[in-house]
Structures are given as structure tokens and as C-alpha cells.
Copies of this chain bind each other. A is one copy, B any other.
Amino acid sequence: MRIVDIREIAVPLNSSLRNSVYDFSEMTTSVVAVRTDVIRNGAPVIGYSFNSTGRYACGAQMRDRLIPRIFAAPPESLLTEDGSNLDPEKILARMMMREKPGGHSERSVPIGTIEVAIWDAVAKIHDEPLHSVLAKKYSAGRVLEQVPCYVGGGWYAPGKGIADLEAEIRMRLEEGYTTMKIKVGGAPLADDLGRIEAAIAVLGGGQQLAVDANAGFTPERAVEYAKALAPYGLRWFEEPTDPADFALMAQLTSFYPGAIGTAENLFSTQDIKNLLQFGGLRPGTDIIQIDVPQSYGIVQFSRTLDMLQRMGWSRQSIFPHGGNLMTLSLVAGFGLGGCEAYPGVFGVFAGFADDSKVVDGILTLSDRPGIGFEGQNKLYEVMKSMF
């Protein structure tokens, strides 16, 4: 058993979205395909992934050093003890050869993306959904069958007013979502509060609304917003600070009563640990939003979860970043708090299987082997074209 080929392509998102800090007009993502010599259901097993959203394609690092390191290893050294499958932990260690400590994002994104594609192949070799494989390995076999899923939106757009926001939210409620996250910080505070009050009125309560500042505030504005948002009892307030401004985070958590969400822009276990130690995040209250394919992948995520558990955190406080099938597999397989959805944005990379449904805010799982990209037709068209 061995990996026969690993390919990657960079695909533009072709998104016209913008939040309070940046737009996605140049954004690309790397799609990875890992072909093995294993035959399942009459075809060679190929694992797929992409590097989530918000970080640019990273194929050069893959081509120049990560993929060559994998192929320079004896194939049997990358297998499980009994030789029955690929071992993602060994492949991760192999990719980390000759890497200097610290400075993560340059390699954590390409390594994590390859690693998640390896897991897709691993699950397909088991002929099981990835969430089942992960549950057996990391969660005593318990799959979270009812995955809570909220929907992201409420982007800023020229001419978009309160009525448009209300219509957007109503559409999402009709689609089956019950909780929504909207952007803040791209308008003056008073305007944002108007948007928030309108959104709460449509959604039916502050606990149905989260807001996302995308790390775009000055410290002063972060404090100002936290004070102004406190009375609304929101589900959470996301990225009020620079991702690594732990001192400011500690200031906010000292007085903001509700949940704060962050961590999609921290890429190592150590950085997350610093966030908890120095940022004053509160187990049982705050929300951690690691992006797994951007943070060295699933094996490293399991280590981060171990660290979180030792620090008193429950898996229900983890809402992984990225509204896609990789995230859904992780939430169901590890029993995490829930999943985000970004239907219709980020091009072919947004969303779940074409036959997936959201009912009362709960997203359906599929039985497809692996991550299940084969059920997401437009994305799978891109993936299968790679071989």
C-alpha cells in the first residue's frame, strides 16, 4: 500500500465579498488530491481536500518540499503498525522534517491541507465516512449525528440596507437555519447596532445572532463595541481583537458577559494555548474556532483538543472555521459544538453535499466514504479533473 501521486492546483474563489477588513477579490485556494494504489469500489482511492478559506493557495510549499519529503520516505514507513492503512501522524512528522520551530502559517496551511486529503483517503480505504473513522479513533466511537449548523452572512455591500439584511435573514430561516452570524465593524457603531436590532427581531432573539468583526477593530473600538453589544445577549462576538492581541482579549473578557469567539487566525497548538492562558477566555462561555486544514490538520487538532481538555475546555466549545464538508466531518467525528455554513459564497468551495439538508438548524450527515466531496458536484468536478 502506498501513495502513488499527490497533485495540487490553485483555484480562484471569484468572490466579490468583503468584510470590515478585506475583500476576497484575489483569493485563491489550493485543492489537493492524493492518489493511492488501493482499489475500493472498483477504482483507485483518491483523497481530496482544499485549504479552507481566507488564506491564499500554497502549492509552492507543497511542490518544493512537502510532497518530495513524503515520496522520499520508504512507503511502509508511512503506514499504520499493521500496514493496513496510511498513518496521517507519520506523514505529518515526515512533512515537518527540516522545519524551523515557530512561524507557522507558511507551512501549517499546506501541511494541514495535504494531511486532511490523506485522512479522506484513509477513510475511503476503510470504506467509511471520515466522521466514523474519527469517532472511532478520537471519540470512543460516538458520532455526533445531530450537527448544529449556523449560517454566516450579513456582509457589507454598496447600497445594502436594513431591509436587504432582513430579507437575507428571512431567506436563511426559510432554508432551515435558526442561528445566523453577520459582519460588524464595516459601518459606524450606531448603524451596526441598527443592523443587529433588526437581525434579532427577525431571528427571534439575541441567542440566535452572532456577530463577526474579523479582527478589524482598533483596541478602542473593540472596547466600545463590546460595551455596546453586551446588552443584546448575542450568541457570540467574533474576532473583536487582532488574533494575537491576548492582552486586549483579556480586557474584553473581563467585562463582556457573553461569549467571545476567536482562533481562526491562530495556526498552532501553542498559539491557542497562549490565547487561553493570557487572553482570559472562559471555558463554558467562549468559543474556539480553529481552522483545521490551515493548522497542520487533524492529528495536530487532536493534540490541541487534548491541551484544551487539560485546561478545562469541553469539545462543545469548539466551532471549527470553514463552512465545508471537512468541518462537518470534524464536528461529527469529534463531537464538537457545531458547524458554520456559507451557502453560495466562496465559489465552489462553499457548502456541503448537494443532497444535504438543514432542518431546525441541524445539518444532515451523509454515508459517503471519506469526507464525501463526491456528493458536492461542482467542487468534485474540480477535484476529479486533477487525475
Contacts and interface: CB of A to CB of B under 8 A. Distances in A.
A160 interface: no
Contacts of A42: none
23 contacts: A22-B99, A22-B100, A25-B98, A28-B64, A55-B103, A55-B106, A56-B61, A56-B106, A59-B60, A60-B60, A60-B61, A100-B215, A101-B215, A101-B216, A101-B239, A101-B242, A102-B242, A103-B243, A103-B266, A103-B294, A244-B271, A244-B274, A245-B270
Sorting the interface of chain A by its residue count into under 10, 10 to 19, 20 to 34 or 35 or more gives 35 or more
Contacts of A61: 56, 60
Interface of A: 10, 21-28, 54-61, 64-65, 97-106, 109, 214-216, 239, 242-247, 265-268, 270-271, 273-274, 277-278, 294
Nearest to A105: B103
B278 A246 contact: yes
Contact of A278 (B10, B25, B271, B274): B274
A21 B265 CA distance: 26
Chain B CB within 10 A, most for which of A24, A56, A102, A214: A102
Nearest to A265: B102
A271 B267 CA distance: 13
A110 to B, nearest CB: 9
